Amino acid sequence: MKILRVPFTLGTGLLLALAAAQAPEITRDQQRFSLATLSELKGESPFLRYGERTALGEGEARTYLELDIHGDPIELGVVLTEAALEGLPAAGTGHHGGHEMPHTYLLELPRQEGVPFQFLEMNWNPSGHEPEGVYAGVPHFDFHFYTVDRALRESIVPSDPRWAEKANHVPAPEFIPQFNAALAPPGATPADIAVPMMGVHWVDVTSPELQGIMGKPEQYRPFTRTFIHGSWDGELIFWEPMITRAHILSKKDATDPMVRDEFIPIPTPARYQAHGWYPSAYRIMWDEDARVYRIALTRLAEQG
């Protein structure tokens, strides 16, 4: 597996292999699933399981799992109460600055046979994180849905004698979603960019916020939301929506229902390493009836 080595400067480091490999155009209808379909699914989903609560800002966060009438999973996510996005810490380097994680919240997820996700790690990054010109200085949340247990996450530390070996052992190409690569400075290895208690982060290189450092400034758009995968010792271990606080808050005042309840496709791999129910999209919404925000992996389907 080749690692994408891109210096974090504007207009340099364009990977030649991607020069002709462009992501397919996604229309509005393709990007957001119809509310009619969503309403239909909701009507067929009387089973909603909630997980533990945790204090967040001036409110709380709570995980949930939605099932259909057949007991199959539809959606896995976290509910943020209206006040949860207020009174958040204003200082902190985020998880990349010095590998510190000052604002980290760990929540167990409701368990269901066949659903591989075990717990959620939320990181609040009031100052953003590297690279400059992309995520730095942009207050945002990282929502890591882990397919491994907490013990394995906590074992991902530089003091592990096999740290470099495990970081450099990346998944086979068929298990990495299309257009995903590990962004790294020239000459760096996965071990150089691995984050303690997380692993190696894989980014969709067609994401608009990356186009400046990819040498395509005309295609650049400021970061609002993106999707990350994480690997460790040959396995993908987390699926991560990364979303700005401002973008989440914008859902509350949106008048367009398709904007207020946003569905974004996730690049999926050719093959999955383990059998289970995996998402093909993630969701960011303001639930007016419950007066909560929902961040979720959605449209779960059985794979492998």
Please tell me the total count of domains within the chain.
Answer: 1
Q: Does residue 79 sit within a domain?
A: yes
In this prediction, residues 135-140 reach a mean pLDDT of 90
Give per-residue pLDDT as tens, 240-295.
Answer: 999 999 999 999 999 999 999 999 999 899 999 999 999 999 999 999 999 999 99
Euclidean distance between CA atoms 243 and 205, whole angstroms: 17
Q: Does residue 26 sit within a domain?
A: no
Q: Does residue 284 sit within a domain?
A: yes
Spell out the residues 6+ positions from residue 19 whose beta carbon is closer than 8 angstroms to its own: none
Task: Quickly list DSSP for 69-102.
Answer: TTS-EEEEEEEEEGGGGSS--S---TTTGGG--S
pLDDT at 257: 94
Q: Does residue 74 sit within a domain?
A: yes
Domain containing 260: what range? Answer: 33-303
Euclidean distance between CA atoms 249 and 151, whole angstroms: 33
CB 51 within 8 A of CB 118: no
Band of the pLDDT at 94, cuts 50, 70, 90? low
Q: Does residue 28 sit within a domain?
A: no
pLDDT at 133: 82
Q: Does residue 19 sit within a domain?
A: no
